[in-house]
Amino acid sequence: MDPSMKVLRTLPEHGYCFVCGKDNQSGMGVRWLLMEDLSISTEVTLDLAQQGPPGYAHGGASAALLDEAMGTSVWVAGKQAVAVNLQVNYLKPLPLHVPFRVNGRVEKIEGRKIFASSSISSMDGTILVNGQGIYIDAPQLTESVWEHIDTSK
């Protein structure tokens, strides 16, 4: 994240969401920030609840963070979409108990397809994990989700 970039607002959490839900005691408790370029960003520190190999995050925890960053950026773009394809590239192990940054953004929209990217980087900017996703605009599948999300915040 460019330190000179302005934060527009903190995005609402989603109840029991594994990544951003405040009601899920087993969740990660992430609070997403909407940046002025409409990307999504947050700072996260994982702990033993997300451990895979001793001292490092489980690959599924990394994938969940990337998916959530991309999915949230897609929803901010006004698309009621669901993931249909995720690609995760594990470049370096993600240590526990160390803060890191997660970013996500929409790259392009082609009809109902939304292409997004995301990354997890150390605080010095080294990319540890990155990913790409394809999301399909499917309001018929996500109608009930919007009813439970307060987007006025």
In whole angstroms, give the CA distance from residue 32 to residue 41.
Answer: 6
The conformation of residue 51, written as its DSSP 8-state character, comes to B
**Options 23, 47, 67, 150, the catalytic residue:** 67
Catalytic status, residue 23? no
Could you count the other beta carbons within 10 Å of the beta carbon of residue 112?
A: 11
Two structure tokens written together for 120: 């997890």
Q: Amino acid letter at 83?
A: A
- 3-state SS class at 63: helix
Total residues belonging to the chain: 153
Residues belonging to the active site: 67
